[in-house]
Amino acid sequence: MDVVYYLIQNMLPVGISLLLVALGGMFSERSGIINIALEGIMLFGAFFGALFVLFVQKSGMGAQTILLLGMLVAAISGLLYSLLLAFASINMKADQVITGTALNMLIPAVILLFSKMFFGSDGVTTNISFYIRKIPILGDIPILGPLFFQSTYLTVIIGFILLAIAIVLLYKTKFGLRLRACGEHPHAADSVGINVYRMRYAGVSLSGILGGIGGFFYSVGVLDGNISGHTGVAGFGFLALAVMIFGQWKPLRILGAAMFFAFLRTLAYSISLIPFLYNLGIDQNYYKMLPYLATMIVLALSSKHSRAPKAEGIPYDKSQR
Amino acid sequence: MQENNSKNKNKLNIKSITKLKGFSSFTSALLAIFLGLAFGFVIMLIANPGNAMAGFRYILVGGLGRLGDVFYFATPILMTGLAVGFAFKMGLFNIGASGQYTMGMFFAMYVAFMWDLPGSSHWMIAILAGMIGGMIMGFIPGIFKALLNVNEVITSIMFNYIGMYFVDMLVQSNGDMYNATLTRTRYIDQGVQIPALGIAGSNVNLGIVLAIIVAIILYITLQKTTFGYELKATGHNKFAAEYAGMQGKRNIILTMVISGGLAGLGGAFAILAPSAIAGSSMTYEPINIIAANGFTGIAVALLGNAHPLGIIFSATFISYIQRGGTLASLVGFKPEIIDIVIAVIIYFSAFAMIMNSAIARVAKRLVGKKNDDEIVEEDIIIEEDVIVDDNDNLTKEAE
């Protein structure tokens, strides 16, 4: 039972980070823009979040307050970075995949350059612990307590709150309906007076905010508040895209998909704790490949009847009917 | 009726672009390079204002003193650039060149270390093995795309990671290849290295010559063969190509296999090359990081407008500023500055073409107001030219 608790406790921070980034990708694609730059946006948010933590960690603020403020910083920086994608793909009608690739390549180089020149290292190293051993009262609930409210991070709770907000925003508001219309049939949306360009900007911006937060949460929950330009976020932005496709662009399904991948990854990194798997003597690199291989298998099975937004990836041009 | 009108408009626009195409792709590449370098300079000013000028001068002219090295390091990115560019022609985005490159490198290393072959056949077969390794890695996204409708971008990204972990694992578990104390692969025997061209002060080797030959073969394939024609047709409009009886699925797989093979060759050229220390070769360090040369290949392909001959020049250029970037560390900068410049170049080259044609259109409209009739005539003439060209192609195919 302890192993199960351990796996779930370690899975949640990883899964939440994947979930938020995948939700970001969902908003962007639902508005019609393929956001392959999520990896870069995550790294950008994580970098500025960690930089903020580095500057305020000695100011005497509580760790959880710093986490919340760092989250804001990460969200804003993610938003700003995503505007580069929005400008290129909405105003300039550039190829969205190529632009995204450029943004992914840009940010690790910037981080490495500045970190090497100013800190003499590959990234930002902070010295603060966001870890929560046990949340009062909630942590004492049998079974649920150890699973969700012990040995955890604040990020997990925030992540579920953001998920709820995302569901309401997408399905219960006028805005969500309009956003989805722009991803399915922008010309029809335009004909009833929706500003397609503005909705797409909104979709990409939301993905920037969620991507930035997701990146910062990755740094908090997986890397102990540090971030390096060398290893970055280890392909989580790309995994998030796969999670989004596996989740068929729907928030709750994305939650399930994100947790599935997070579980596989946690499993891969805690093989030595599980005697049964450890005794099999399989090279640990196989387990490291597992999340990516599982992604491919899942995509192979689910892509045949994919429900991708119909207009995604196509720049909107008013004059083309 | 309205629909007809708008279609006509599109036609005219396309024509005005095709008319300027060669010229405009050249100027848009120049524009992207200029913006990339300017952005790099701004970053340098922010990072270290005092040395920015000196560093920037290194980037611009530093490569001149090391032309041998420029070609030496241009070889692998020329191949990955060709790989990405070839897939572009078909409308596929092969972002997996890194994985294919790494796999090619491993296959070449495997033949170099584990097989015993006579004389110079050894390095030739090692190169071929590299190509096969890349082909296998290219085949996978091709199959996924053609048969299962999985986007090749996602597949090839995933296989970048899978290939990298796989190769790292195989290298680390092989004592003949891997030197655990140095955490690198051992040096490849001199007999298996690609022969150097013997230019003083650099290790530039036969690899660059082979790479250029491959580029020329690709150019001929694209321009003069049925396969090349089908490929480009599918890239322009996949439904029309299908309707005309071209086998889209077969072509997707074939394109990805060839593209992967090209990237694999790049890996073989890189690892089998002699290095700066006499008698040594390049080595591979299995540290779970995806090969950067694959991504640089995207920049190379975009800058060269996916044209095999253009890619020769863009690879040389990128390698040139990379040499300058390493020299810029003499005044306190880090070579990453060039990665920034390259990323910005990709960003702008994604829409530089549109900026360019917009400028051209505005310019044309200004001229057009004065002599409208002439332009209409010109358009008609161009159309005839195109038809003649097509006929030429068809007759050649028939032969």
Q: Is the pLDDT of residue A211 over 50?
A: yes
Of the candidates A93, A106, A292, the beta carbon closest to that of B343 is on A106
Find the residue in B nearest to A92 (Cα): B351
Give the DSSP per-residue string, B319-369.
HHHHHHHHHHGGGT--THHHHHHHHHHHHHHHHHHHHHHHHHHHHHHHHHH
How many Å apart are CA B211 and CA B80, to the nearest integer?
10
Q: Within a domain: residue B18?
A: no
Domain range annotation of chain A: 2-302
In chain A, what residues touch B31 (CB-CB under 8 Å)? Answer: none
Chain A residues close to B351, C-beta within 8 Å: 88, 92-95, 99
Name the residue facing B169 among A97, A285, A304 (closest C-beta).
A285
> By percentage, how much of chain A surpasses pLDDT 90?
39
What pLDDT was estimated at residue B279? 66
In a domain, B255, yes or no: yes
The residue of chain B nearest to residue A240, with distances taken between CA atoms, is B154
pLDDT recorded at residue B265: 96
Do the strands A132-134 and A150-152 form a parallel or antiparallel pair, or are they unpaired? antiparallel
Average pLDDT, chain B: 81
CATH number of the domain encompassing residue B293: 1.10.3470
Q: How far apart are CA B296 and CA B318, in angstroms?
A: 8
Task: Name the residue with tokens 């056949």.
Answer: B121
DSSP result, A290-308: HHHHHHHHHHHHHSTT---
Q: Which residues of B touch A98 (CB under 8 A)?
A: 93, 298, 302, 346, 349-350
Q: Please say whether the dihedral angle defined by the alpha carbons of residues A42, A43, A48 and A54, taken in this order, is positive or negative.
A: positive
Interchain contact A241–B (C-beta under 8 A): yes
CA B201 – CA A61 distance, rounded (Å): 58
CB contact under 8 A, A114 and B47: yes
Which residue in A44, A289, A306, A319 has the most chain B C-beta atoms within 10 A of its own C-beta, making it the best mutation to test that interface?
A: A289
CB contact A296 to B (< 8 Å): yes
Distance of CA B219 to the CA centre of its chain: 13
Which residue from B minimizes the CA distance to A294?
B158
Nearest CA to A87 out of A196, A211, A200 is that of: A200
Within a domain: residue B346? Answer: no
**Helix-helix angle B121-148:A284-302, to 10 degrees:** 40
Residues A228 and A123: their CA atoms lie apart, in Å, by 4
Which of the residue ranges A94-108, A171-185, B191-205 would you say has the lowest mean pLDDT?
Answer: B191-205
Q: How far apart are alpha carbons A87 and A102 in whole angstroms?
A: 14
Chain B CB within 8 Å of residue A297 CB: no
B289: closest CA of chain A, how far (Å): 7
B209 within some domain? yes
Mutate to test the interface with A, among B351, B356, B361 (most CBs of A within 10 A): B351
B6 with A321: Cβ contact below 8 A: yes
Residue type, B205: N
Residue B375 tokens read as 């332009």
Residue B384 lies in a domain: no
Cβ–Cβ < 8 Å for B43, B340: yes
What pLDDT shows up at residue A152? 82
| Domain annotation covers residue B380 | no
**At the topology level of CATH, where does A2-302 sit?**
ABC transporter involved in vitamin B12 uptake, BtuC (1.10.3470)
How many distinct structural domains can be found in chain B? 1
User: Cα B137 vs. chain centroid, distance in angstroms?
Assistant: 17
Q: What would the DSSP string read from start to end of B287-302?
A: SS---HHHHHHHHHHH
CA A105 to CA A97: how far, in whole Å? 12
Binning pLDDT at 50, 70 and 90, where does residue A221 land?
Answer: confident
CA of A10, closest CA in chain B: separation in Å?
Answer: 22
Q: Does A191 touch chain B (CB under 8 A)?
A: no
Q: Do A285 and B336 touch (CB under 8 A)?
A: no
Report yes or no: B263 and B294 within 8 Å, Cβ to Cβ.
yes
Is residue A34 a contact partner of residue A313, using CB atoms and an 8 Å limit? yes
Tell me whether residue B114 is in a domain: yes
Distance CA(B62)–CA(B116), nearest Å, equals 42
Closest residue, chain B, to A114 (C-alpha): B47
Residue A293, min C-alpha distance to chain B (Å):
7
Q: pLDDT at position A321, please? A: 57
Could you report the per-residue pLDDT of B172-216, keeping only the tens digit for each? 888 888 888 888 888 888 888 888 887 777 778 899 999 999 999
- When CB atoms are compared, the residue of B6, B346, B355 closest to A105 is B346
Measure CA B108 to chain center: 20
Greater confidence (A181 vs B280) lies with A181
Q: Is A119 on the interface with B (CB under 8 A)?
A: no
B249 touches B146 (CB < 8 A): yes
3-state SS record for A191-256: HCCCCHHHHHHHHHHHHHHHHHHHHHHHHHHCCCCCEECCCCCCCHHHHHHHHHHHCCCCHHHHHH
Residues of B in Cβ contact (< 8 Å) with A249: none
Domain residue limits at B275: 67-336
Domain-embedded: residue B325: yes
Using the Cβ of A304 and the Cβ atoms of chain B, whether some distance falls under 8 Å is answered with yes
* B32 touches B310 (CB < 8 A): no
- Measured between beta carbons, the chain B residues lying within 8 angstroms of A108 are 339
| Count of A-B CB contacts under 8 Å | 139
Q: Which of residues 16-35 of A touch B (CB under 8 A)?
A: none
Burial label, A290 (beta-carbon count in 10 A; 0-12, 13-18, 19+) = middle
* Minimum-distance CB partner of B169 among A245, A283, A293: A283
Highest mean pLDDT: which range of A11-25, A228-242, B322-336 = A11-25
Alpha helices for chain B (secondary structure H): 2-47, 52-61, 67-89, 97-114, 121-148, 152-172, 206-224, 226-236, 238-243, 248-271, 292-303, 308-328, 336-370, 372-398
Q: Least CB-CB distance to B148: which of A231, A286, A303? A: A303
Cβ separation of A95 and B350 shorter than 8 Å?
A: yes
- Among partner residues A105, A117, A319, which is closest to B48 by beta-carbon distance? A117
Low-confidence ranges of chain B (pLDDT < 70): 1-24, 278-279, 352-353, 356-357, 368-399
- Contacting residues of B for A289, CB less than 8 Å apart: 161-162, 165-166
Give B289's contacts in chain A (Cβ within 8 Å). Answer: 230-231
Task: Report the chain A residue with the minimal C-alpha distance to residue B331.
Answer: A117
Q: Which residue from B minimizes the CA distance to A235? A: B161
**Chain B neighbors of A114, CB-CB under 8 A:** 47
Closest-approach residue (CA) in chain B for A37 = B347
**Nearest CA distance, B149 vs chain A (angstrom):** 6
Residue A117 to residue B332, Cβ atoms within 8 A:
yes
Whether A97 and chain B come into contact, CB under 8 Å, resolves to: yes
Smallest Cα distance from A132 to chain B, Å: 31
Return phi, psi of residue B284, to 5°: -115, 135
Instruction: Check CB contact of A113 with chain B, cutoff 8 Å.
Output: yes
Residue B236: CB atoms within 10 Å: 12
Structure tokens at B1: 């009726």
Distance separating alpha carbons of residues B339 and B342, to the nearest angstrom = 5
What span, in angstroms and rounded, lies between the C-alpha atoms of A303 and A200? 25
